Amino acid sequence: MVIFLHFLFFSIVSLINLYSQVHTEVFYSDGSELKCNNKREVLDKHLKVTGGKVYTRFPPEPNGYLHIGHAKAMFVDFGLAKERGGCCYLRYDDTNPEAEKKEYINHIEEIVNWMGWEPFKITYTSDYFQELYDLAVELIRRGHAYFDHQVE
């Protein structure tokens, strides 16, 4: 009886710990699975900061015309933000200047509007290059990343 009560107590404690975390599961096509567990306090803090709103971004590269995959991404990015009372940024992933043209930027904005979406704000990845560079240097300094000097 004592062993059963001991087992029951630890089972209940385990369930309390399980339900005090937020679980996210990502399933990959190769059968592997990523499980993320965040403590309830982390989620509560996030929801307090965001007011419970979801902020997303639609990040096309301005080096070509949009295709059906972009339509799906727009539905997810803009739709989730709208559903949760948040905002969706249109952020151009302008990291390949040789292939980018104003023609593509105009086309992307035209299609986004034609699909019925309105970006909260239009931004460019290049607006954040210095900040991203500084963050990368800090990760290297902390030993969480490295610079690969290979030429091929």
User: In the chain, which ranges are E strands?
Assistant: 21-27, 33-39, 55-58, 87-92, 121-124
Q: pLDDT tens, 17-29?
A: 545 555 566 677 7
pTM of the model: 0.64
pLDDT given for residue 23 in this prediction: 58
Given this model, what pLDDT does residue 113 score? Answer: 95
Is the pLDDT confidence value at 115 over 90?
yes
Residues 123, 92 contacting (CB under 8 angstroms): yes
Task: Please state which architecture CATH assigns to domain 53-152.
Answer: 3-Layer(aba) Sandwich (3.40)
Residue limits of CATH 3.40.50.620 in the chain: 53-152
- Helices (H), ranges, 31-128: 40-50, 68-83, 102-114
Q: Calculate mean pLDDT across residues 33-41.
A: 74
Task: Let me know: does 137 contact 128? Beta carbons within 8 Å.
Answer: no
If one counts every other C-beta atom within 10 angstroms of the C-beta of residue 111, the result is: 16
What pLDDT digit, counting tens, does each position of 43-54 carry? Answer: 788 778 888 888
Residue 126 identity: S
Give pLDDT tens digits for 66-93. 999 999 999 999 998 998 889 999 999 9
